[in-house]
Amino acid sequence: MNTQPMPGYFFMPQHIILVGASERPHTLGERILTALLGSSFQGDITPVNLRHKTVAGLPAYPNLNKIDSQADLVIAVTPPNSYETLFKACRKKQLHHLILIQDWESLSEEDWQTARQAIQKHHGQELNISVCSPAGIQLPTQGLNTGVLPDFPAGHVALLTGQASVSSEIDVMLRRMQQGVSRHISLNYDLSPTSAADWINRFGHNRHTRIAVVHHNPAENQRKLFSAIRHFTRHTPMIVHCTHAVDDTERAILESLSRHCNFLLTLNHNELSAALRARLSDIKPSNQLTALGNTPIGWLQPIAAEMGIQLTLPSEKSNLQNGYLGSMPTAAHYRSMAAQQLQQNHTQSLLAVIAPSADQNETAIAKMLNHLTKQTGKPLLVSSHVSDGLLHFPTPEQALQTLYLRNIAARLQQVQHEIAPAKSGRLKNIDSQAVTAAKDNSKRLAAALHLPTYQNGNTYPLVKLTFRRHPQYGTIISAADLNRTIAILPPFTTLDTARLLRFADLNRYQDAIEQFVHSMNTLVQNPELFNVNGEIILNISSNQISTDVRWPAPPTSPSHKNSKPSEKTIEQPSQPTADGFNHRMQAAAEFLRYSNARASEFIRTTSEAAAEFWHQKNNTGKPKPVENVLAPYPTDYPSEIRLKNGQTVSVRPFEPEDAEAKQQFIRRLSPQSRYTRFMTRTNELPQPTLARFSKLDYHSEGAWIAENSDGLIVAVSRFSRLTRDECEFGITLSEDMRGSGLAHKMMQLIIRLATQQGYLSMSATILKENTAMLKLAEKSGFSLMESEQDKNLYQAKLNLLSAEEKSKEKFRQ
């Protein structure tokens, strides 16, 4: 893990060095210096220019070594052939944070390669490099603009994009809504070793930010990216916006990830605009909408129905027919009819459609309705070409889209609170040897996996469930009929099974589908049992369910036994040109081989450049299969723990299906035990808390349970993320296990897993009266300090690296 200070400097810089600052018109150095000096930024700016002693009236220096004072941030706009010298100077001056800004699209491939090699060589613990598009970074609340785009108005939207044009598009969108930006960074996703996930982690919780928009980067590590998104959305809503081509399967995967990580997904400009309005406005979710218009609007009903919205078009005998007020109502009459509908008990929200009219009173109507909006507690959505604001829309379709996405956001929040039912007792575990023996026989494989009878070539099923590997997101199960596709992601849970059953009313095949999901989970956990490039399919028709297997195509071979490929087609393995990078990679390989517990530490220290290189190769040099986007359950742990009294308990990772068993465990505790553990008087965990504790992201958190011989939980240990460097632990023990040594063993399990995940420290807040936990913490190596906020509490903290400093220093050397 990167041991640099948290890069709050990027959001509170006091001194910025601009390398390549210039007065020459239209150069990047001149445009960015003009942006910096033209803003209200109150910090110091130091130009670096080889030829001039002053730039824009500021003292300039020929190089970094001539600058006496330290800086929070270095911004470089010089060409890539200067990077090697620049990076060495930054490291010598102990300038830790560097942002490279270039008009990358205008540079040659040779320039890109030069930049890539220098960045890979120098990015790491001593120098953190981010590569930006010309849009750079903007912090409107601090008056900071380090890019070529106009100053964004200050507001409540955090932006993270991969292209300047996307940043500009969103800025225009927000201005039309009379909204602004809290913080913004536009990376070059192809070159930046500091990834979108890294920057999401750096955004953290900010009082100025009400929503974040992240431009999806499909090329970076998807597990790390969506783990960061999941943690972020626990405190701030997020929109994930895709600009690349998304097919039905990828859309289904991203929608499944939105359920896991609680974000809104948008795939085009109109969806993004509607999502911003849905999240920034105070509009409440509603499945019912009343509509009025000075133009016929009956055509909106089928569009609303597709979005799950019941559109009511009111009628009155004299002057209102199916929501139509006539083509030339006065502004006062339109307002009167709108107010009348808003007063109806059955009206949850109102859509007013204003079309241009012969008497050109569109503006007057819009102003009247805007005044009415301030006097009603119900949402009033206005579709008009002449008004701006969050709930003023250029088209009625976008108003419907906004309400639809607000409903989606509400449903996603409900999904976060769902509890996974316990696993069925009817499930059959597969025999690994039987599966291995049936690898070349589809019929025997289906039987070994306890699946329905094998039948080849059912080409017209009503529903098809397919287990396969996606090249970008790893293993999935997709469900498709003629109109829709959904996907579930491993580790598969009973909630996933329930979603498959609801997809096409498949309850009559519940046992078969539950077994299918269970067997596929086993294949995910044991990938050697089935070729990752194959497919296992359940074909479901109205009265039949069968299994099909698609084996991967064998590699093609030359048509003649003695034929050889042309020498011109033989590709030599490419070698990095920088010797230092080669040396670093070799050292990394040795480190990963002998110190698995600290693999995450190295990866997060050298960041994406080294991590991606080694994660994509195995020791034969062949590409590794892409990892699953959701982290698997841990596998390296003792299955049993022997206690001091000679008894044994079984140990395993906490799974979502353990939620109800954990609730029962909490209920069996004494009132005092519950109080010391949760610091509140409670008989059980509230459902949202239980759901959050049960749906773990094993990329950045973890939990273990211990069960006695009766299968009852007797201990739970867990840790969750506080920051990217620190996690918080909690341990709950049944009364009959006190003094057995189990608590210490459970503590060691979470310490080990947190260390493997790359955390630097572990902490907890403990009641002073909880003497048993205080003794356990001290025995486990934690330091204890009285809380500064509450005299009844202790703060316990453990440095997770203290036992490894010597080996870490040896590796660095």
Tell me the per-residue pLDDT of 445-497, one tens digit each, with 9 for 90 and over.
Answer: 999 999 999 998 766 889 999 999 999 999 999 999 989 999 999 999 999 99
In this prediction, residues 80-98 reach a mean pLDDT of: 95
The per-residue pLDDT for 374 is 85
pLDDT in tens, 198-220: 999 988 777 789 999 999 999 99
Determine contact, residues 731/715, Cβ cutoff 8 Å: yes
Say if residue 607's pLDDT is above 50.
no
Q: Examine the domain organization and report whether 404 and 460 are in the same domain.
A: no
Return the CATH number at 661. 3.40.630.30
Mean pLDDT, the chain, whole residue set: 88
Q: Examine the domain organization and report whether 806 and 704 are in the same domain.
A: yes
Return the CATH number at 50. 3.40.50.720
Q: Examine the domain organization and report whether 466 and 383 are in the same domain.
A: no
Q: Examine the domain organization and report whether 388 and 471 are in the same domain.
A: no
Query: Which of 150, 171, 194 delimits the end of a domain?
Result: 194
pLDDT in tens, 522-533: 999 999 998 878
Residue 599 lies in a domain: no
Say if residue 184's pLDDT is above 50.
yes
At residue 719, the 3 state secondary structure works out as strand
Residue 692 lies in a domain: yes
Q: Examine the domain organization and report whether 542 and 517 are in the same domain.
A: yes
Q: Would you call the peptide bond into 491 cis, given omega within 30 degrees of 0 as the criterion?
A: yes
Tokens of 231: 């943690």
**Whole-angstrom distance, CA of residue 199 vs CA of residue 673:** 40
Say if residue 716's pLDDT is above 90.
yes
**Whole-angstrom distance, CA of residue 703 vs CA of residue 652:** 9
The per-residue pLDDT for 257 is 99
In this prediction, residues 182-207 reach a mean pLDDT of: 92
The total number of structural domains that make up the chain: 4
**DSSP-assigned states of every residue in 202-271:** HH---TT-SEEEEE--TTS-HHHHHHHHHHHTTTS-EEEE--S---HHHHHHHHHHHHHHT-EEE-SHHH
**Whole-angstrom distance, CA of residue 121 vs CA of residue 517:** 45
Residue 231 lies in a domain: no
The per-residue pLDDT for 2 is 37
Say if residue 611's pLDDT is above 80.
no
Q: Examine the domain organization and report whether 412 and 476 are in the same domain.
A: no
**Whole-angstrom distance, CA of residue 390 vs CA of residue 780:** 54
Nearest to 188 by CA among 302, 87, 104, 71: 104
The per-residue pLDDT for 790 is 87
Say if residue 126's pLDDT is above 80.
yes
Angle at which helices 659-668 and 687-694 pack, to 10 degrees? 120
**Whole-angstrom distance, CA of residue 376 vs CA of residue 352:** 14
Return the CATH number at 515. 3.30.470.20
Q: Examine the domain organization and report whether 516 and 471 are in the same domain.
A: yes
The per-residue pLDDT for 417 is 97
More confident residue, 172 or 606: 172
Phi and psi at 574, nearest 5°, equal: -75, 140
Provide the residue range defining the domain that includes 142: 15-194
The per-residue pLDDT for 555 is 62
Query: Which of 372, 389, 417 delimits the end of a domain?
Result: 417
Of all residues in the chain, what percent carry a pLDDT higher than 90? 73
Residue 624 lies in a domain: no
pLDDT in tens, 36-73: 998 888 889 999 998 999 999 999 999 998 998 889 89
In this prediction, residues 509-535 reach a mean pLDDT of: 93
The per-residue pLDDT for 577 is 40
> How many residues are there in the chain?
813
Residue 426 lies in a domain: no
Determine contact, residues 303/397, Cβ cutoff 8 Å: yes
Q: Examine the domain organization and report whether 41 and 183 are in the same domain.
A: yes
Q: How confident is the model at residue 807 (pLDDT cuts 50, 70, 90)?
A: very low
Range in 123-132, 385-394, 603-612 the model is least confident about: 603-612
pLDDT in tens, 317-372: 777 889 999 888 999 999 999 999 999 999 999 999 999 887 778 899 999 998 89
**Whole-angstrom distance, CA of residue 766 vs CA of residue 780:** 14
In this prediction, residues 653-662 reach a mean pLDDT of: 97
Q: Examine the domain organization and report whether 659 and 764 are in the same domain.
A: yes
Q: Note the pTM of the prediction, 2 decimals.
A: 0.88
The per-residue pLDDT for 105 is 94
The per-residue pLDDT for 12 is 76
**Whole-angstrom distance, CA of residue 449 vs CA of residue 60:** 72
The per-residue pLDDT for 142 is 87
Residue 232 lies in a domain: no
Residue 514 lies in a domain: yes
Q: How confident is the model at residue 681 (pLDDT cuts 50, 70, 90)?
A: confident
Query: Which of 525, 550, 575 delimits the end of a domain?
Result: 550
Say if residue 393's pLDDT is above 80.
yes
Say if residue 538's pLDDT is above 70.
yes
The per-residue pLDDT for 458 is 64
Q: Examine the domain organization and report whether 183 and 131 are in the same domain.
A: yes
Range in 225-239, 507-521, 675-689 the model is least confident about: 675-689
Q: How confident is the model at residue 282 (pLDDT cuts 50, 70, 90)?
A: confident
Say if residue 438's pLDDT is above 70.
yes
In this prediction, residues 25-33 reach a mean pLDDT of: 93
Q: Examine the domain organization and report whether 439 and 380 are in the same domain.
A: no
Phi and psi at 123, nearest 5°, equal: -70, 130
Residue 239 lies in a domain: no
Say if residue 679's pLDDT is above 90.
no
pLDDT in tens, 100-124: 999 999 999 999 999 999 999 999 9
Q: Examine the domain organization and report whether 351 and 441 are in the same domain.
A: no
